[in-house]
Amino acid sequence: TVTLNTAAKAAGKLYFGSATDNPELTDSAYLAILRDTAMFGQLTPGNSMKWDAIEPEQNVFDFTGGDQTVALAEATGKIIRGHNLVWHSQLPDWVMYGDWTPNTLTSVIETHVRTEVSHYRGKMYAWDVVNEPLNDDGTMRADVFYNILNSSYITLALQTAHAADPYAKLYINDYNLEYTGPKINAMVQLVEDLLAAGAPIHGVGFESHFILGDVSGTQLQTNMERITALGLEVAVTELDVRIQLPATDANLEQQKADYTTVVQACMAVPGCVGVTVWDYTDKYTWIPAAFPGQGEACPWDANLLPKPAYDGIAMGF
Ligand code: XIL
């Protein structure tokens, strides 16, 4: 049978990969599949490198979970996407509710980004430096960073990350960039502004959390091409295709087609470096917790058996 990272590489891509999370690594059947680098050539830590995990109290850093993911990747010859440095969600309360001035918040961002990126210096293919900075209408998300520092926090985070690890590709990552409309327009404008200002920005991540049947390959390809036309790379960073439960056989066939469409869009864009699924099995998908009543979003089922979506991915490469 076709193994997915092998297929991706044979097709000229850098990797096919999966998100994972530390509690799952005690599941030996899950781990055995994840370790197979013919299947997965890249890992993204689903939670363990986020701010609340890494710096739960100011200046108190805990790299335990992140280090475990890196060790697994190194032991199995996989590349790693670091995820993520500055995001409105999964922030510790001390950041979220701090009484910041522009100067004190600048220092907090610098310390966090410098310390985390330095810790993993030379080990990361890429970092999602800024995660989800945009609203769906194309305006900037009014989170603690934007409210205190305006969009300058993005340049600050990129420059600080670049100084700490000049070899890592620095990404902005967001969802709903997969459709034409105000959000991708705003991302193109943001990248143009960052480039004009000389900021180190090398890629845009298309999260790609899709609803079954709601995938447009032409829109995804067009939007990726708008970013690569600016000289950046792109990646599908968090792919899943969620289904209203209970899923029917017809749903699973549609899901297979949707996965193929996404992989084909990446294939059509030379600057699309790879595809990452937001965990490979329905056993550990985040979807039911985030979107009640929906699930079965992944290419392997909850018994760790490949679904039609698996063949859909293989067909796309
Ligand atoms: C999700 C994780 O998978 C969950 O375990 C966690 O409870 C919430 O975050 N966009 C992102 C990811 O960039 O970090 C999110 O991951 C999913 C949406």
* Catalytic residue chosen out of the listed positions 116, 207, 233, 238: 238
Q: Hey, whose CA ends up nearest to atom 7 of ligand 1?
A: 286
Which atom of ligand 1 has the smallest separation from the CA of 209?
A: 18
> How far is Cα 243 from Cα 19, in angstroms, rounded to an integer?
19
If one counts every other C-beta atom within 10 angstroms of the C-beta of residue 182, the result is 15
Residue type, 287: I
pLDDT in tens, 161-215: 999 999 999 999 999 999 999 999 999 999 999 999 999 999 999 999 999 999 9
User: Distance between terminal CA atoms of the chain?
Assistant: 14
Q: Which residues, at least 6 apart from 172, have a Cβ–Cβ distance to it below 8 Å? A: 128, 129, 130, 131, 133, 154, 187, 190, 191, 201, 203, 204, 205
Look at residue 14 in the predicted model and tell me its pLDDT: 98
Predicted confidence at residue 283, as pLDDT, reads: 98
Pairing of strands 209-211, 233-244: parallel
User: Which sign does the torsion angle of CA 20, 37, 283, 68 carry?
Assistant: negative
Ligand 1: residue whose CA is nearest its atom 15? 46
Q: Which pLDDT score is estimated for 1?
A: 81
Residues contacting residue 27 through CB under 8 Å, at least 6 positions apart: 283
Residues with CB under 6 Å of ligand 1 are 46-47, 131, 207, 238, 286
Name the stretches of the chain with pLDDT < 70: none
Q: Is 238 a catalytic residue?
A: yes
Interval between CA 118 and ligand 1 midpoint (Å)? 23
Dihedral sign computed on CA atoms, order 1, 304, 215, 249: positive
Task: Give pLDDT tens digits for 117-144.
Answer: 999 999 999 999 999 999 999 999 999 9
**What CA–CA distance (Å, rounded) separates 114 from 295?**
37
